[in-house]
């Protein structure tokens, strides 16, 4: 894990993008290829968090997070898992983590 990549864990959803999502979780680090103007990863006041800088990668500590059951989890809510530059290996690692917790519904967004 790179310096400045604090544990995020699974968190209750606080945003209003998808009102039916109950939780969010992110294992994917690195700078998203889309660089959308509306994305709040690009915080004008504080800058971009270290976990969302550099090459796409797995944030190893997030792989051990227990996702529980009965949740609707927006995975990789701060990045696009299927964007250019995300390897098939990274995608598989994240999907395998979800498979370990089959009692949830997972939401992925393709930009």
Q: Is residue 4 part of a domain?
A: no
31: closest CA among 51, 7, 4, 9? 51
Q: Is residue 79 part of a domain?
A: yes
> Whole domain around residue 27: which residue ranges?
11-107
Confidence band for 4, pLDDT divided at 50, 70 and 90: very low
Q: Is residue 1 part of a domain?
A: no
Please say whether the beta carbons of 60 and 91 come within 8 A. Answer: no
Confidence band for 43, pLDDT divided at 50, 70 and 90: low
The pLDDT tens digits for 55-74 are: 999 999 999 999 999 999 99
pLDDT for 49 equals: 79
How many domains does the chain contain in total?
1
> Cα dihedral angle (46, 50, 56, 61), rounded to 10 degrees?
-130
Instruction: Report the C-alpha gap between 17 and 21 in whole angstroms.
Output: 9
Q: Is residue 28 part of a domain?
A: yes
Q: Is residue 50 part of a domain?
A: yes
Q: Is residue 5 part of a domain?
A: no
CA 67, 34, 24 angle in degrees (round to 5)? Answer: 15
Q: Is residue 2 part of a domain?
A: no
């Amino acid at each position: 894990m790179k310096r400045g990549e604090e544990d995020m864990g699974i968190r209750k959803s606080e945003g209003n993008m998808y009102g039916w999502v109950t939780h969010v979780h992110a294992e994917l680090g690195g700078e998203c290829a889309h660089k959308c103007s509306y994305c709040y990863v690009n915080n004008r006041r504080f800058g971009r968090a270290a976990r969302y800088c550099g090459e796409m990668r797995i944030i190893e500590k997030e792989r051990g997070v227990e996702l529980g059951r009965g949740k609707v989890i927006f995975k990789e809510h701060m990045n696009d898992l299927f964007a250019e530059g995300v390897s098939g290996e990274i995608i598989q690692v994240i999907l395998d983590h979800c498979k370990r917790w089959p009692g949830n519904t997972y939401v992925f967004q393709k930009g």
